[in-house]
Amino acid sequence: MNSIAKQGSDLAKAIKLASETFDAGKYETKALVLITDGEELQGDAIIGAREASRKGLRIFTVGVGSGIGARIPEKKDNTGLAKFAKNEFGRDVTTRLNERMLQQLASTGRGFYEALGKDAAGLISTWHRGLEPLAKGTQTKPSKDLQEYFQWPLALAIALLLWEMLVTDRRKQASTSPTK
């Protein structure tokens, strides 16, 4: 039986891992989008967001769930009914959206908070208002106009194939061999 001992996510660990993933000093156009309910295990997410923000990483949060709480679906059984996550006492685990935490995280990370909403409108808004402007500030490197030279070896191979067809020994052997 699977059970969840503690409710919540380790948001601080996620922020730390994201900031370690990016190259040092190249944070100008880097952003982290946290899609979560905002329930946190340790309570260190604001500190992690402050450190990541100092490096230049922007943090945007998208809230999932409701403030009144809901059970966490785990998987469907053979009958097609959803099973829900249970704690160590066999009770259903509920999750509650903590908008206040997500707003604090986003403002500390120089980003903003959006509720997921219907049809993922919060993600679309996060893209248009937060991520798309970051991408427009990037510079592109001009690439060299590479020329492909595969045509020359291909032409040589075709010429040799035609030459082989013209100067083959098999035709000569077939016409000079005696018939019985």
Q: What is the pLDDT of residues 61-115, one digit of tens each?
A: 998 887 888 777 777 767 777 788 887 888 887 888 888 888 998 999 898 999 8
Residue 4 has what pLDDT?
A: 45
Residue 8 has what pLDDT?
A: 61
Number of domains, the chain = 1
Is 146 a domain residue?
A: no
Average pLDDT score, the chain: 79
Pick the residue with more confidence: 142 or 161? 161
Pull the structure tokens for residue 24.
């040092």
Is 174 a domain residue?
A: no
Is 165 a domain residue?
A: no
Pick the residue with more confidence: 18 or 144? 18
Distance CA 62, CA 33 (A): 7
Instruction: Give me the domain span that covers residue 74.
Output: 3-136
- Of all helices (H) and strands (E), which one includes residue 101? helix 99-108
Q: Is 134 helix (H, G, I), strand (E, B) or coil?
A: helix
What integer is the mean pLDDT of 129-150? 71
Q: How confident is the model at residue 158 (pLDDT cuts 50, 70, 90)?
A: very high
Is 99 a domain residue?
A: yes
Pull the structure tokens for residue 76.
């469907």
Is 150 a domain residue?
A: no
Is 154 a domain residue?
A: no
Distance CA 85, CA 67 (A): 19
Q: For residue 59, what is the domain's CATH number?
A: 3.40.50.410
